[in-house]
Amino acid sequence: MGGEAGAAGTFEPVVVAFTCSWCGYPSAVLAGVNRIEYPPGVMIVRVMCSGMVEPAYMMRAFEQGADGVIVVGCQMDNCHYMTGNKRAQERVDMVRVLLRTLGLDDRRLRTEWMNASERVRFAQVMNEFVAELKGLGPSPAVPCEEKA
């Protein structure tokens, strides 16, 4: 099972979603309250602020097999901690350059900025991201090996 996008149906992208406690995570929880569906490959890591997400965490996620990584935080100019999301965007931009140099499609790393009640948008973004990743195929950073 390689990186073929055509492996229809069996590839379920794993997305590590770093969500901030003030906007990203509440949006995700509200999506749940409203039963708005999105794919089960989306795994949420709650942090206090999107600005807490270091480049090393993003790269580690890819190293450990994530097919996509997304940082979800407050809207720009509305970060609960003032400038955290700006820092996060800068760091994501930097890591995308590193990904390109490594040979990973930089679309695998993205950010999304929303306020705390955007439940529909949260699910929408996850659905879109997973669909895009299905098109890109499994991350070549961790090719499938035989299980021991």
Partner 1 sequence: MSEKVIKRLIQDTRAFDCVECGKCTSVCPVTRFNREFAPRLLVVKAMESPSIEALAKERDLWVCTTCAVCSSMCPYKVDYTEFIRGLRAESALLGITPECSQGGLLHSMMRIMGKGELKQRRLDWVTPDLTVAPKGDIYYFTGCAKHLSTVFQDRKGLDFGGVPEAAVRIMNAAGVVPAVSNDEVCCGHDLNWTGDENGLAALIDRNLAAIKATGAKKVVFTCPEGLRTFSVDYPAMGDEDLPFEVVHLSQLMAEWVKEGKLKFRETKAKVTYHDACRLGRHMGVYDPPREVLRAIPGVEFVELENNRDKCLCCGVSGWVSCDANTKLLQMEKLKEAKRTGAGTMLTFCPKCQVHLNCALQDKIPVDRALVDIPVQDFTVFVANALMR
Partner 2 sequence: MTGGKGETGGEKRIGVFLCTCKGELGSHLDMERLARALAGRPGVAFVKQGEAICTPEGQRRLQDDFKGGGVDRIVVGACTPNIQGLIMRGALEAAGLNKYLYEQVNLRELCGWVHPDRERATDKAISLMEAALARARELEPLEDIELKVVPEALVIGGGVAGMQAALEIAARGFPVHLVERQAALGGRAYGLSVTFPTHNCGICCMQYCKECVLTPKIEDVLQNPRIKVYMRSEVETLEGGFGDRAARIRTPEGPVDVRVGTIVVATGSDVFDARRIPEYGYGLHKDVVTTMELEKMVAKEREFHGRFVKPSDGKTVPKTVNFIQCVGSRDRAKGNLHCSLVCCTYAIGQAREIRKLHPETTVYVHYIDLRGPYRGFEEFYDQARAEGIVFVRGRVAEVYESKGQLRLKCEDTDSGKALNMATDLVVLAVGQEPARDSERLAKLLHISLDHDRFMKDLNPNFQAEYRRGVFVAGCAEGPKGIRYSVEDGKSAAAAAADLMAAGRIHKTRAIAVVDEARCRGCGRCEDICEYKAAKVVEKNGRLVSVRDEARCEGCGICAAQCCNRAITVKHFSRPQVDALIDGLTRRRRACGGPSEGGS
Instruction: Give yes or no for residue 82 binding partner 1 (CB under 8 A).
Output: no
* Closest distance of CB 141 from partner 1, Å: 4
Q: Site for partner 2 (CB under 8 A): which residue of 73, 106, 113, 123?
A: 123
Across-strand partners of 110?
70
Q: How far apart are CA 132 and CA 2, in angstroms?
A: 17
Tell me the angle at which helices 24-33 and 119-136 cross, rounded to the nearest 10 degrees.
100
* Closest distance of CB 117 from partner 2, Å: 9
Extract the tokens encoding 96: 């995308």
Instruction: Give yes or no for residue 68 binding partner 2 (CB under 8 A).
Output: no
Q: State the pairing for strand pair 109-113/42-47.
A: unpaired
Question: Whose CA is closest to 95, among 60, 55, 45?
Answer: 55
Contact yes or no for 73/109 (Cβ under 8 A): no
Binding mask 93-122 for partner 2 (x = CB under 8 A): ----------------------xx------
Question: In angstroms, what is the C-alpha Rg of the chain?
Answer: 15
Instruction: Give yes or no for residue 56 binding partner 1 (CB under 8 A).
Output: yes
Instruction: Give yes or no for residue 14 binding partner 2 (CB under 8 A).
Output: yes
Which of the listed partners (partner 2, partner 1, none) does 16 bind, with a CB threshold of 5 to 8 Å by partner kind? partner 2
Q: Which positions touch partner 1 (CB under 8 A)?
A: 2-3, 54-57, 59-60, 62-63, 94, 97-98, 100-104, 139-143
